């Protein structure tokens, strides 16, 4: 196991263990986080534990051109029930990602330190949020990091049926117009698989990061 210190460096992703765990330690400073994402690495750990850095193989991703929209979601997209926005409520989105319960999950990895680190990234123009509104109330959304033509999704929430899917689809459609190459979904979820995400090798993912 690679132990990080104050030096701004990560080991090669190929040395990660079979679960994708690459290193522990370090910090959540902006420079380290940006280096991590550009290297195909992301932090994921429980509050009170050392920071864990991951680079799983295979990697769960979505190519925007392969986005799947079901007939029921097309109705949701077109019926005018929800309203979509970007970067209007980043702080509220990450707070809801932290607090809104999810089926099969007992807690969250989004600690106050994580909130602070990603809020700083947002203030610096790297982290973005996509929001779903119903009657002026925030009912769903997601946040992540956008670097060049890759979007690294971090978390999403929904307190109204289909609200997170609405935000995700609308945001991917927008990013596709901006010639986004790839959406990193990190690890498998059935929710995102239904929207077109699938597995690729870590090697292929890292190649995409290098352009």
Which residues, other chains included, contact 197 with Cβ-Cβ below 8 Å and sequence gap of 6+? 60, 61, 62, 183, 185, 189
The answer as to CATH 1.10.10.10 being correct for domain 2-57 is no
CATH fold for the domain made of 60-199: Aminopeptidase (3.40.630)
Alpha helices in the chain (DSSP H): 30-38, 71-78, 90-99, 112-123, 163-177, 190-193, 202-209
User: Which region, left, alpha or beta, applies to residue 186 given φ > 0 means left and ψ of -120 to 50 means alpha?
Assistant: left
Helix axes 71-78, 163-177, angle to 10 degrees: 80
Hey, what are 182's tokens? 């790839």
pTM score, whole prediction? 0.95
Burial 142-177 (b: 16+ CB within 10 A, else e): bbbbbeeebbbbbbbbbbbebbbbbbbbbbbeebee
- The domain locations on the chain are 2-57, 60-199
Digit-by-digit pLDDT tens for the chain (211 residues) are 799 999 999 999 999 999 999 999 999 999 999 999 999 999 999 988 999 999 999 999 999 999 999 999 999 999 999 999 999 999 999 999 999 976 544 446 899 999 999 999 999 999 999 999 999 999 999 999 999 999 999 999 999 999 999 999 999 999 999 999 999 999 899 989 999 999 999 999 999 999 7
């Amino acid at each position: 196991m690679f132990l990080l210190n104050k030096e701004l460096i990560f080991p090669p992703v190929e040395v990660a263990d079979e679960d994708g765990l690459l290193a522990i330690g370090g910090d959540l400073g902006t420079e380290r986080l940006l280096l991590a994402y550009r290297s195909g690495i992301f932090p994921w750990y429980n509050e009170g534990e050392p920071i864990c850095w991951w680079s799983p193989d295979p990697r769960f991703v979505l190519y925007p051109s392969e986005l799947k929209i079901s007939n029921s979601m097309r109705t949701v997209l077109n019926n005018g029930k929800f309203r979509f926005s970007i970067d209007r409520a980043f702080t509220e989105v990450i707070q809801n990602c932290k607090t809104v319960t999810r089926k099969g999950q007992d807690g969250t990895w989004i600690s106050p330190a994580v909130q602070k680190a990603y809020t700083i990234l947002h203030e610096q123009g790297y982290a973005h949020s996509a929001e779903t509104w119903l009657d002026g109330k925030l009912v769903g959304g997601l946040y992540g990091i956008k670097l060049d033509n890759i979007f690294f999704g971090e978390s999403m929430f929904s307190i109204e049926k289909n609200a997170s899917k609405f935000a995700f689809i609308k945001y991917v459609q927008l990013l596709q117009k901006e010639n986004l190459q790839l959406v990193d979904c990190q690890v498998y979820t059935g929710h995102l698989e239904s929207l077109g995400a699938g597995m690729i090798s870590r090697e292929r993912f890292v190649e995409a990061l290098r352009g």
